[in-house]
Amino acid sequence: MWHSSQRSSPWRRSYPQGVPGDLSIPDIPVTQLLDDAARRYPRRPALIFFGREISYRDLRDAVDRFADGLHRLGVQPGDRVALVLPNCPQLVIAFFGVLRRGAIAVQHNPLYTEEEMLHQLADCGARVAVVMDRSFATVQAVRSKLRLEHIVVTSLVDFLPASRKLALRLPLVQMQRRRAAITADVPDDPGVVPFKELQRVPRQRVSQLPIEPSRHLAAIQYTGGTEGRPKGAMLTHRNLIANACQQHAWDLAGRPGGDVTLAVLPLFHSFGLMSCLVAPVMTAGAVVLLPRYDGARVLRAIRKYRPTIFPGVPTLYEKVLDSPGFQPSDLGSLRIYISGAMGLGPGTIDRLGRMGARGLINCYGLTEAAPAVAANPLDGRARNLTVGLPLPMTDVVIVDQDEPTKVLPPGEPGELVVRGPQVFVGYWNAPLATAQALSKGWLRTGDIAVMDEDGFVTILERLRDMIKTSGFTVSPTAVEKVLRRHPAVHDCAVVGVPDARRGERIIAHVVEHPAYPFSADELRRHCERYLSHYKVPDEFRPRTDLPRNIIGKVVRQRLRDEAVNSPA
C-alpha cells in the first residue's frame, strides 16, 4: 500500500509561511456553518440575487422553514432529495434544508435532457425533487418511471426584489410575445407543491437532526465515468467540512465576513458547490448569485458588489475580458481567482497578468475529493502551469501505471493517487467502481501527473479519456452511445482535442452505414435531442474505419493526433 509522511512530503516545505500542514477538522454537520454565521453575523448579507440581499439570519430562518416543509412531505433522514436548480436563493435554501433534515442533497443540471435526468433520478432514488419551473416539464415527463412522490416547483421570480420582477428579462428559446415570460406553466397536480408552500412558519423551532458527520452523507454529486454513465460520488458532512477548512487554511488573508464571492459557476457542480457556497458560508462571506453567464450582468455585478473572490474556469475569465465595455479597473476589488476544472493556459495567465489581476491560482480537484486536492500558493509564488501543492492534510503519491503499488520518485510521470479527509466514501450503487477507485482511503484519480522536487504537481493527461470543455466533463462513451442510435452511424469514436478558449472541443469520427448517407447537420440534430448542449460534438468527420489495436480497442490517441494535424 502507498505511504506518505512528513519526510516524503516535499510540498509542505513549499507552503507559504503560516499555512499549517495539519488541521483540526470540527466534527459538525454542514448546517452548523450556517448556524454559526447567523449567530455571529445575523445582519450581514449571505446572498445577493439581482439586487436583493438576504441576511444570514433570514437565510437560516428560510432554511428552517424549508426543512419543516420537507418534514411535512414525509422526508426522513437518509432520503435523497433531488435539486434541479440554477444558481438562486432557492437552491441554497433547499440544500441546507435537506441537510437539516438529515437527508441527502442530490444535485442535477437543470439543462439535462429527459434521458439524462431519468438515469440520475432513478439511480439515486429521490423521493422529492425541487425544480425550477423551466425544468418541470423534463422531470414530469419521466416521473412515471420513478419513485418520485413530490415535485416542489419554484421560479426565479419568487426571490427577486419587487422592483426587478417586472424589469427582469430572461432570454427564451423563441420569443412569442413582446413581453418575455420568466415562468413556465405548471399544471395542477396533487404531487406538485409550490416552493412557497414549504416556507410556512413552523410551529416550533427546527433543529438539526442528529447525524454522525464522518458517516452520514450530505450530498451525492454525479461525475462522469469511462463506461459512459455518470456515477454518484457519496460525500459525507465531514468531507465537505474538511475541504472548506482546507481552503480556508490556504487563504491566510481571508477574514470572517470580509469577502464577497462571485458565483457564476453552477452550484450543482462540485467546484461551484464548495468554492461558491460551503467555503464562503464557513467565513460568513457574501455570495453574489448569477443563474447563468451573461457578460453584461457579470460586469454589472463586479462593478456594483466589488467581489473579492472569483472562482471560475479559464474560458469564463476570457469571456469577462472580452465583454464589451470591460475595463482593467473592473478587476480592482478581486484578490483571488480560483481557476479549476480545466487547465490554465499561458495565454490566459499572461492576459490576466497584463490586466493587473492579482491572486490568480490554478487548482486541481475532482468530485470524489469534494473537490479540492491541490492549489497554487497565494503568496506570489504561483506556478500556474502546474496545479500547485497538495492542500493541508492531503497526501499524494505518483504511481506506476502498470505497477500501481510502485511509488515513483519526483520527475517521473504516473497516476496521481490521493488521500485526505475530503476523499469520498464511494460511489452510490456501484460497489465495483468503488473498489476500483478506493483502497484504504487512497483514491486513484485516473489522471497522469508528475511532481517536481518542490512538491508542485503537473497534470499531463487524463487516463480515462474524459473530455473537458468549458469546465464541463463529457464522457465520450455516452456521446458515442447516442450517435450509434442513428441509422447513418455504423461505428464511431468521440475524442477531445485542444481548444484555446474552451480547453477542448469535441470531434466525432463516424463510420457511415453503407445504405445511409452521412449528414453532419442531421447527426447534430440527433445529438441535440438526447444530449445537453455542451456534450454535442463540434464536428462530425466521416471515416471508412477506425484505428484499433490488436485486441480491437479504438486507439483514441491516434484520432486526437489526426484531428490536431488535420483541423479541417
Residues 458-511 pLDDT 10s: 998 777 678 989 988 788 888 998 999 999 999 999 999 999 889 999 999 999
Residue 138: is its pLDDT beyond 60? yes
Which pLDDT belongs to residue 379?
Answer: 95
**For 19-52, what is each residue's pLDDT tens digit?**
999 999 999 999 999 999 999 999 999 999 999 9
φ, ψ of residue 104 in degrees (nearest 5)? -120, 125
Average the pLDDT over 123-142 and give the result.
96
First to last CA, the chain: 47
Question: Which pairs from 519-526 meet CB under 8 Å and 24+ separation?
Answer: 519/488, 522/486, 522/488, 523/483, 523/486, 523/488, 523/489, 526/482, 526/483, 526/485, 526/486
What pLDDT is recorded for position 189?
82
Report pLDDT for 512: 92
pLDDT at 73 over 70: yes
Average of pLDDT values for 109-134? 95
Q: Which of 288, 284, 285 is nearest to 38 (CA)?
A: 284
CB 493 within 8 A of CB 480: yes
Residue 78 has pLDDT above 60, yes or no: yes
Q: Cell numbers of 267, please?
A: 452550484
Average pLDDT, stretch 73-79? 97
Characterize the bridge pairing of strands 45-49 and 360-365: unpaired
What is d(CA 150, CA 152) in angstroms, rounded to the nearest whole number? 6
How many whole angstroms from its chain centre is CA 339?
Answer: 13
Residue 129: band (very low, low, confident or very high) from pLDDT cuts 50, 70, 90: very high
Q: Is the pLDDT score of 3 beyond 70?
A: no
pLDDT digits (tens, 9 = 90+) for 202-256: 877 789 999 999 999 999 999 854 345 789 999 999 999 999 999 999 999 988 8
Would you place residue 84 in the very low, low, confident or very high pLDDT band (cuts 50, 70, 90)?
A: very high
CA distance 111 to 124: 18
| pLDDT of 175 | 34
The pLDDT of residue 170 is: 46
Domains, the chain, in order of start with CATH, read: 467-565 (3.30.300.30)
Neighbours of 51 (CB within 10 A): 14
pLDDT at 228: 53
**239 compared with 519, residue with greater pLDDT:** 239
- Is residue 279 within 8 A of residue 286, CB to CB? The reply is no
Across all residues in the chain, what is the average pLDDT? 91
Q: Give residue 181's pLDDT band: very low, low, confident or very high (50, 70, 90).
A: very low
| pLDDT level of residue 201 (50, 70, 90 thresholds) | confident
Give φ, ψ of 297 to 5 degrees: -70, -35
Mean pLDDT, residues 283-309 taken together: 96
H-run or E-run covering 461: strand 457-462
- pLDDT for 257 equals 87
List 474's β-bridge partners, or say none: 467
Distance of CA 284 to the CA centre of its chain: 21
Tell me which DSSP letter residue 4 carries: -
Give the DSSP per-residue string, 154-183.
Answer: E-GGGGS-HHHHTT-----SS--SSSPP-S
Q: What is the pLDDT of residues 88-102, one digit of tens each?
A: 999 999 999 999 999
The pLDDT value recorded for residue 478 is 86
Provide the strand spans (E) within 35-107: 45-49, 52-55, 80-84, 104-107
- Low-confidence winner among 118-127, 179-188, 387-396, 463-472 (lowest mean pLDDT): 179-188
Q: Is the pLDDT of residue 411 over 90?
A: yes
pLDDT of residue 180: 39
CA distances from 39 to 12, 55, 95 (A): 35, 11, 19
What would the grid cell of residue 139 be?
422531470
Q: How confident is the model at residue 182 (pLDDT cuts 50, 70, 90)?
A: very low
Q: Are 251 and 336 in contact (CB under 8 A)?
A: yes
Residue 567 confidence (pLDDT): 65
